[in-house]
Amino acid sequence: QVQLVESGGGLVQAGGSLRLSCAASGRTSSRPTMAWFRQAPGKDRLFVAVIMNNGDTTPRYAGSVKGRFTISRDNAKNTVYLQMNSLEPEDTAIYYCAATPWTFYTDTYYIRADQYDSWGQGTQVTVSS
């Protein structure tokens, strides 16, 4: 496993931007796939974005954030980022970073939280209207 620590959450007005960071430590090379999920109060933890080091490295996004959010990674710093623009009140949630040893080839699996075995503690993002 790896240890993941998120940062960068906060309170922002609708239309604003935030950049989340996820710093990984431990056996990071064993976890080539990194993702962001989010969980709103009373709701399930939902997929936001994923980026892989193996296979097809094209980032994938949930439909609700495509065109507004960008996932990226700096392998030298073992850090994954989530740039969030044009934020909406519906984006309010706790955002979690996740890692897995798997490389996915279909969205059937990378959107599922149970496919990830390492999780951060989460960072709160609140978007006011």
pLDDT score of 8: 97
pLDDT score of 47: 97
Cβ-defined contacts of 106-113 (< 8 Å, 24+): 107/60, 110/33, 110/35, 110/47, 110/50, 110/60, 111/47, 111/50, 111/62, 112/47, 113/37, 113/45, 113/47
DSSP symbol at 5: E
**In this model, does residue 26 exceed pLDDT 80?**
yes
Q: Rounded to whole angstroms, what are the CA distances from 12 to 3, 56, 88, 106, 123?
A: 28, 33, 9, 34, 14
Question: Closest Cα to residue 60, out of 109, 2, 128, 129?
Answer: 109
Chain-wide mean pLDDT for the chain? 94
With a pLDDT cut of 70, the percent of the chain lying above it is 100
The pair of three-digit structure tokens given for residue 33, joined into one six-digit string: 């796939």
pLDDT tens-digit map of 76-126: 999 999 999 999 999 999 999 999 998 888 878 999 999 999 999 999 999
- Helix, strand and coil content of the chain, in percent to the nearest 5, comes to 10, 50, 40
pLDDT score of 56: 78
Band of residue 12 on the pLDDT scale cut at 50, 70, 90: very high
Q: Are strands 79-84 and 69-74 parallel, antiparallel or unpaired?
A: antiparallel
